[in-house]
Amino acid sequence: MAWFGQGKDTIEWEEFRDDVLFYKWPAKEIKKGARLIIRPGQNAIFFADGRIEGVFKDTGNFDIVTQITPFLSTLKGVFTLRGDTGMRAEVYFVNAKELLLPWGTRQRIMMPSPDVPSGIPIGCNGNLIIEFRDYLTFITKIAGVKDTFSLEDISERIMGELNPIISECMLDGQQAMGVNALIALQGNSRKLGKRIAEELDKELMSMGLGVANLNILALNYPKELQAMAEKVAGQSFVGDVNKYAAISMADSFGKEGGASVAGLGMQMAMGAQMAQQMMPNADNAQPAATEPASDARFCPTCRKMVPTKFCPDCGAQTV
């Protein structure tokens, strides 16, 4: 511990900016008669001999001897009891305001998908709020070697961590994601943002910082992905087109007039043809039902397709 001559000094952070995390007061000696000024949005930390002596959060103008040192753990009474004229300690001003940092993926993340073997490129952006979690760790790892530390400095580390974290959180333990599931991520962006914040928070703890909140403003998809999702949805619909045609047929029987019966036959034939064309070919697929001939006609009495102008079972005229 080194002591210095009597004098007056003011300990303060004058050039206070919202994008700076902390400011280190340049002098390492606090002289007798010095005053501490804490402005709104600032906290003052007294640090000596590798330990934090005190953290002061109230705004105002304070006398070091009478209003500050009585609350410092090991430096208490340095001026008053010993009669010393000064003490060796460092003062760090930290930004206590909401530290808002816009973020975004530097390049699109290639998400593995069974629909696209090479992966689907996804990008996203939003805002996150940084906060102090451990002042001692922060001073030891960051403030001890720098006089100031801005959000721009920390953004480099955050952007480097984000891509793999986002990819892991999107997959959520899965090996791959389907096209429709990727599109649905936008609707679950709040839940996804919380998972990303939890993982990013673990990375920042090594610097004494943490993530208070993270939100996702937008997920960016290539145009081809939306078209692919619509195609997948269409294929799913066509897979049940025979069922749809059967329901339409039952509804049409309650109507009067030959036009409705004729339309019913066309619906059935078109539905069967579309289903046959759109169903994927696979070795383990079930054998397709026998399709009616192209010149098949519908018997409104027997409710079946026959190859003749008149039904061979009931004799009714077919359509």
Rounded to a whole number of angstroms, the distance between the first and last alpha carbons of the chain is 107
- The residue from 67, 95, 123 where one domain ends is 95
Q: Is residue 219 helix, strand or coil?
A: strand
Statement: residue 42 has pLDDT above 90: yes
Q: Are 272 and 248 in contact (CB under 8 A)?
A: no
Supply 185's token pair: 């991520």
Structural domain includes residue 283: no
User: Which pTM does this prediction carry?
Assistant: 0.63
Tell me whether residue 144 is in a domain.
Answer: yes
| Residue 284 burial by Cβ neighbours in a 10 Å radius (0-12, 13-18, 19+) | exposed
pLDDT band at 62 (very low <50, low <70, confident <90, very high): very high
Assess if residue 203 is contained within a domain: yes
Average the pLDDT over each of 28-37, 132-141, 159-168, 251-260 and give the range with the smallest value.
Answer: 251-260
* 195 part of a folded domain: yes
* 286 within domain boundaries: no
User: What whole-number distance in Å separates Cα of residue 154 and Cα of residue 101?
Assistant: 9
Report pLDDT for 300: 72
Instruction: Average the pLDDT over 210-214 and give the result.
Output: 95
Do residues 86 and 6 lie in contact, with contact meaning Cβ atoms separated by under 8 Å?
A: yes
Question: Which letter does DSSP use for residue 306 in this model?
Answer: E
Domain check: are 104 and 197 in the same one?
yes
Q: Is the pLDDT of residue 24 over 80?
A: yes
Instruction: Classify residue 162 by burial, with Cβ atoms within 10 Å: 0-12, 13-18, 19+.
Output: buried
Has residue 44 been placed in a domain? yes
Q: Are residues 185 and 106 in the same domain?
A: yes
- The CATH number that applies at residue 118 is 3.30.479.30
Q: What pLDDT score does 80 carry?
A: 45
Q: Which domain holds residue 304?
A: 239-278+292-319
Q: Which of 76, 95, 114 is the last residue of a domain?
A: 95
Of 311 and 213, the one with more pLDDT: 213
Q: Please check whether residue 123 is in contact with residue 104, taking contact to mean a CB–CB distance below 8 angstroms.
A: yes
113 and 80 inside one domain:
no
Higher pLDDT, 106 or 209: 209
The answer on 27 and 141 residing in a single domain is no
**Residue ending a domain, choose from 51, 77, 95:** 95
CA 10 to centroid of chain Cα atoms: 44
Q: What does the alpha-carbon distance between residue 24 and residue 11 come to, in Å, rounded to a whole number?
A: 10
The number of folded domains in the chain is 3
Question: Using the 8-state DSSP alphabet, how is residue 137 labeled?
Answer: H
Reduced to 3 states (helix: H, G, I; strand: E, B; else coil), residue 130 is: strand
Domain annotation covers residue 78: yes
Q: Are residues 145 and 77 located together in one domain of the fold?
A: no
Residue 231 in any domain: the answer is no
pLDDT band at residue 197 under the 50/70/90 scheme:
very high
Residues 201 and 121 in one domain: yes
Query: Could you tell me which residue, 162 or 228, shows the higher pLDDT?
Result: 162
Look at residues 66, 88, 81 and name the one whose alpha carbon lies nearest to residue 4: 88
What is the per-residue pLDDT for 249?
A: 54
47 and 31 within one domain: yes
Q: What is the pLDDT of residue 6?
A: 38
Tokens of 281: 């070919």
